[in-house]
Amino acid sequence: MTPGYIGSYSTEADRLTAAVTTSRHTTHNGITSDFGVDKVTINLDGGVFEESILAKGRRRKHLAW
């Protein structure tokens, strides 16, 4: 398993949508992913406010890398 992430985003006016796929960083006994799975895609929807964003997200787990 290679840790890392890949994603994309788009904006339209002040709206933002994004998707990021990431994998667990550390494989060590007793350490688990914050998401409970080794690979996850996080989908975000939100808005752009000056130099910041505010977004809500949801995850989709992957069964195999």
pLDDT value at position 65? Answer: 46
Beta bridge partners of 45: 17, 56
Q: How many C-beta atoms lie closer than 10 Å to residue 41's C-beta? A: 16
Q: Indicate whether this model's pTM tops 0.85.
A: no
CB atoms within 10 A of CB 37: 15
Q: What is the pLDDT of residues 9-35, one digit of tens each?
A: 999 999 999 999 887 766 777 777 767
